[in-house]
Structure 1
Amino acid sequence: MTLTDATHDPALTSWVDSANAADCDFPIQNLPLGAFRRAKTDEPVRIGVAIGDQVLDLKLAAAQCPWGEGVPELLAPLAAGDLNAFMALGPAARRRLRAALSAALAAGSDQAPFLELCLVPQADAEMQLPCRIGDYTDFYTGIHHATAVGKLFRPDNPLLPNYKWVPIGYHGRASSIGASGQVFRRPHGQIKRPDRDAPDFGPCQRLDYELELGALVGTGNALGEPVPIERAEEHLFGVVLLNDWSARDIQAWEYQPLGPFLSKNFATTISPWVVTMEALAPFRRPFSHPPGDPPPLPYLDSAFNRDAGAIDIVLEVWLQSAQMRAQGLAPQRLMQSNFRDAYWTLAQMVAHHTVNGCNLQPGDLLGTGTQSGPGPDQGGSLLELTQGGRRPITLASGETRTFLADGDTVILRAHCAAPGARRIGFGACAGTVAA
């Protein structure tokens, strides 16, 4: 199966000059979708396409630009600001619109004079959540994170027996998901200190981030009808960055026996631009479990998943404290990892989520779990990087961190790069602990 087409041609350039910069997150080969309105206006939200440092307003583009047969019908829900309705149309519609947008934004396009009037600088766009998120499930696919955290509590047996057999997940809270730029208050809850017989109630003292990806469901499935893994990726629309903020001290007291609750549901931040599954095609890689590990059960295994289930996505965490901002210091990179190291693929997440008949819907969000790398400096959370708070990190300002302080901003970034392909990025996923 050929995954790439003319829209992925690395030689393709755009009449939007900023899209042709080598380090641009949003070249013409990407074309992610997001919801926005112009800053300081009360205009209705509409869907746009990121191209260079601009946003192509699809409401204006639908009204002011001539399009080929069938394309206006695809643009209609996007012009109305309803990404969910477009997601529900499925991958064939998505590929058709991608081809039309690629041709329209390519250098020499006859549509350029119309579309240049439909551009909005990204600096002037107020980004929203890209779609209505009805449900949120967070998985635990990062084996290096699971192992590192397990060692902190179970040095002799870090991975529980089910980890290599079943994609573990828990149900999250959709109502507290916010777009990049989210500011949230430090959560409160019960905290049980080792030297006390009873818990105290108060503010979290061990606030953490978690570096994740989030997969957004496109077409859903009917209740009672599992999605076979051979068709799982047809039900995925695209991917965002996801920060699963975590109150570690609250979590330690509440997570047994049922799992995270108040320690996770106070805030989750996602990046505003949805990088479609098509844009990720040049960065697909073979997938397998390490030698000696049990093979996936048949419902979690397919030829395509073995051939191209992994995705080569470089992931990074950056931190800027309030003092660093005051001193004019740039955010500091804390770590880098890669999603290709995940123990379970996106397709396996969908297949497992639905194997019992659970019905997914357009816009549902599936978190991957924390994506750490194998090295001690590749932890996707402060819990790992500081060894549970025992090894503080020193910032450029001279401050130290074991967990997050008020005023800290955490920024997730990601990009894909490979020989013979154009580099693409995800933009920023930033969140700030209210001071």
Structure 2
Amino acid sequence: MTAVTDKFAAASIALTLLGLSTCTALAQKRYDTGATDTEIKVGNIMPYSGPASAYGVIGKTEEAYFRMVNDRGGINGRKINFVTYDDGYSPPKAVEQVRKLVESDEVLLVFNPLGTPSNTAIQKYLNSKKIPQLFVATGATKWNDPKHFPWTMGWQPSYQSEAQIYAKWLMKEKPDAKVAILYQNDDFGKDYVKGTKDGFGAKASSIIMEESYEVSEPSIDSHIVKIKAANPDVLLIYTTPKFGAQTIKKTGELGWKPLQIMTNVSASVGSVMQPAGFDNAQGVISAAYAKDATDPQWAKDSGMMKWSEFIDKYMPGADKTDSGHVYGYGAAQTLAKVLEMCGDDLTRANVMKQAASLKEFTPDTLLPGVKINTGPADFAPISSLQLMKFQGEKWELFGDIINGDVATE
């Protein structure tokens, strides 16, 4: 071999080694606290006790979903370690539990924390720590504010969007109706009231009464009696499940039959309509973005068949009429998609970047035509709904899919 050839060979080897080192550098795994080669630690708070305990089934479903993911090999080879705590639907308790998740458990992110009051209490803390508060389980409009809170993102349609849809439908179908609003006296209820007034616009005078209740009240029967005395044609029920069931049951006991419109978050057949009494619930209107497991039209739907198989295997004996199981599955499937998109870059910044890059994603449980889309300036993944009416022992969809985007500042 000549000297010139030797030089070429040496140069070739050097370039090969340089290329390999560059590839290695590019392929390097990147982790923040809560992620390793083998594990992704996900934190969650949920009201397993207290006035909103009906929602606890959501956390149990998410825990089961990640068990299924782990049984199938995890996400990009990493198992999900799902750490979930009870906050009792209490903001001070929520702060305490989230601090524990971050500072003691050292989770990568806080996923699907439930409740407007609880999430309001933890939002500034998580954003100051630059920890994702991802796919928040409440429809308050303020979760779509990437400019001021870049570490917080919602999941379900906003309450204001939903309320606007009800108001617009009423103006078209019952233009002369007198409307009363029953609402929870916190950000959750007030968001619905604002959306309703925005939807009515110049016709907001149709609202003849606004009656609020406190979440600490054991019963709201006295509020229903007071509203009935005002004799409205329409009752907007902006409540959490326990109080939604009480409202429908009490109107039935009073023999009072206004048109009742119920929040989507309290539309569960198993935890609201059944306890209220199916006879009392006839004709109640709500809106949906997810499939209803009690609706026979989804019996052969591929997505709901997967959901049903999951429930049978991982939550045997669970009440399939409880919509919390559908919600938890869809939210968990969305997080699994984001973590899959993260690849080996499991930094908190990349988790948020990927969460803001979802395009036409369709979890198994969403209605046909409802898709998840996000962007750097759009932290509202789902913004479409379809109206439905309670008939017999189930909800029946009607009308078209309606987009209810609410502008953010």
TM-score when normalising by structure 2: 0.27
Q: Which structure is larger by alpha-carbon Rg, 1 or 2?
A: 2
- Which structure carries more relative contact order (alpha carbon 8 Å, separation 6+)? 1
TM-score when normalising by structure 1: 0.26
Bigger proportion of residues as strand: 1
